[in-house]
Amino acid sequence: MTNTQASGEECLGQRRQPHILVGVTSAQTCLVLPNRLNAFREAGFRISLLSAPGELLESTARSEWANAFPIPMQRGISPLADCISLFRIWRLLREIKPDIVEFSTPKAGLLGTFAAFLCRIPVRVYLLRGLRLETSRGIKRQLLLIAEQIAAHSAHVVICNSRSLRKRALEFHIGPAEKLIVLGEGSSNGVDPARFSPGQSSIRSTLEIPVNAFVIGFAGRLTIDKGLPELLEAFAALLRREENAYLLLVGWFDASEDALDVGLRARIEGHPRIICTGFVADTAAYYRAMDVMVLPSRREGFPNVVLEAAATGIPVIATFCTGSRDAVVAEVTGLLVPPGYPDAICEAVFCLLRDPDRRRRMAKAGRAWVVENYDHRRVLGTTVAFYDHLLNGAVEPGKEAVEPRNEAATELPVWP
């Protein structure tokens, strides 16, 4: 087909189906992608999915009608392995020639966007989900910073998951202000308010938690950066003031660089008032079993678990760290405490447990706030519309957006 014929077909409304490749480092991260991939597919995109090998890559690709491309990648710094992964990604991109790529998570962000730059992929997006360098020190921090800067330089646009994350990225000089943007109110997925909604749950009965017990919940990876050491100290202090309390950890021991040591893991597994579920595919019912949800993270991008808990009608306690502070309206939907302070977590939890009326007000306000701002159809509709604009050359970083063609997008991209 000639270029003239192709142009003619586009004019007649028969535009070629755009091809997007979404890349993440670990197959585990595919857990957060189904809604996003589904939105792309419904908008008419052909989808390819890239990550390190794993069943979650294969199962996600099957359920979302995407092509799966397993390429081994190391989470940590590994120069030889990284060079091999870079070559494999470069070779893949040259072969399948996507119209747009979206890479996220540190290693895939670095290798993927750089390979896409070398292949001159027409539209290159780096989705910044968080900054691992925030909790790193010394030479490792410098290397992580250089990696982020290379990823940002290689991309046409860097989508930051939250406003505070964008601010932090600017402070680190990761990229120029006109390249770093936030879409809407932030978040890469939003929340399904029908799935995460208030209601009854059989989880307490299943886990043999007394009906009248106070349940403090946590959802996510059980790691140091998620603040598990502080949460354990806070819970120990809380038990000295409130004997009828349980800690429900909805998550798994992640084998990452910030993994919990053997002592902390044994403390969790051996405590009679701490229940650790392991990996849970559908967490909605577990939120309903909680009285308060606590996310004591030391760093975040934009924690979806906070939005999910709030949508379920659970008041949330989070920290002032990057990303987390965007997910809570302080004193309205929950409380914010300084990261790294177990006493502050304990005091905040105790105050809410002793004030059921305040918890109810926060629960009602939290769900209303999430439904208004973070309904997944709104968040992903805005994303799809923005990507469509990029593909059509209608939007460039720093310039105003035009009217989106996607009716699901009720709000245009928010420029910095």
In 171-328, which ranges are E strands? 180-181, 214-219, 245-250, 274-276, 292-295, 316-319
Average pLDDT over residues 298-320: 96
Q: Which of 194, 191, 136, 164 is nearest to 378 (CA)?
A: 191
Domain ranges of the chain: 3-190+375-391, 203-374
Percent of the chain with pLDDT over 90: 85
Residues shown for the chain? 416
14 has a pLDDT exceeding 60: no
pLDDT tier, 15 (very low <50, low <70, confident <90, very high otherwise): low
Q: Which CATH architecture has domain 203-374?
A: 3-Layer(aba) Sandwich (3.40)
pLDDT mean over 18-46: 94
Structure tokens that stand for 372 in this block: 């208004």
CA-to-CA distance for 67 and 57, rounded, in angstroms? 10
DSSP type of residue 282: -
What would the pLDDT profile of 201-260 be if each residue is shown by its tens digit?
Answer: 999 999 999 999 999 999 999 999 999 999 999 999 999 999 999 999 999 998 888 899
CA pair distance 292, 391, nearest whole angstrom: 43
Mean pLDDT, rounded, of the chain: 90
Q: What is the pLDDT of residues 167-200, one digit of tens each?
A: 999 999 999 999 999 999 999 999 999 999 999 9
* Residue 330 DSSP symbol: B
- 3-190+375-391 and 203-374 in the same fold: yes
In sequence order, the 6+-apart residues with CB closer than 8 A to the CB of 249 are: 217, 218, 222, 268, 274, 275, 276, 277
Looking at CATH, the fold of the domain delimited by 3-190+375-391 is given as Rossmann fold (3.40.50)
Q: What is the pLDDT of residues 136-169, one digit of tens each?
A: 899 999 999 999 999 999 999 999 999 999 999 9
- Rounded distance between C-alpha atoms, residue 97 and residue 99, angstroms: 7
C-beta separation of 314 from 365 below 8 A: no
Residue 375 · residue 191 · CB < 8 Å: yes
SS3 content of the chain, % helix, strand, coil (to 5): 45, 15, 40
pTM for the whole structure? 0.87
H/E element holding 92?
A: helix 79-96
Alpha-helix runs per DSSP H in 227-355: 228-239, 262-270, 284-288, 304-311, 342-353
Beta carbons of 366 and 394 less than 8 angstroms apart: no
CB 270 within 8 A of CB 294: no
